[in-house]
Amino acid sequence: MHETPKRVFEQIEQERPPCERNALLHDHVCSGPPDGLLKNIYQMEHAWIYAGKQIIKKWAIIRTCWWAHQGPGLDKKINHWISLGHATDEDLKEFPRRDWEQERRYLNALYGKPVIKNNQMHVMQTG
Ligand SMILES: [Zn+2]
């Protein structure tokens, strides 16, 4: 099992909003489990499995609250979409067994084009 280096998590924490899904979609109120016992409600999600393993690259990890990661709001498609917003074509070339171009077209048609610049995120409405 590959482990994500701690520094990658630290970079992500510094560079990204606490819940990337909310920053892009504004579709929920960030929350932790109902028992209220979780001190930090923000988590990291490895969005992709490739050849049976998690992709442990920075672009493939997204930051969300518990609700959107382990709670009722989990939506793998949205997480895929967000992570592809971080990935460059170079990044994706390392994982040639998947048609990323098609994946991206499909997800952007569903949710819009994610624009991520200097930690600012928004969705460009298409079509
Ligand atoms: Zn959230």
How many angstroms does the Cα of residue 4 sit away from the middle of ligand 1?
A: 22
| Domain boundaries, given as residue ranges, for the chain | 6-124
- By C-alpha distance, which of 93, 98, 75 is closest to 24? 75
Q: Write the CB contacts of 119 (distance below 8 Å, at least 6 apart in sequence).
A: 15, 16, 17
Q: pLDDT, tens digit, for every residue of 34-76?
A: 999 999 999 999 999 999 999 999 999 999 999 999 999 999 9
How many angstroms does the Cα of residue 12 sit away from the middle of ligand 1?
A: 16
- Cα separation, 120 vs 116, whole angstroms: 6
How many angstroms does the Cα of residue 18 sit away from the middle of ligand 1?
A: 8
pTM above 0.75, yes or no: yes
114 C-beta neighbours (distance < 10 Å), count:
22
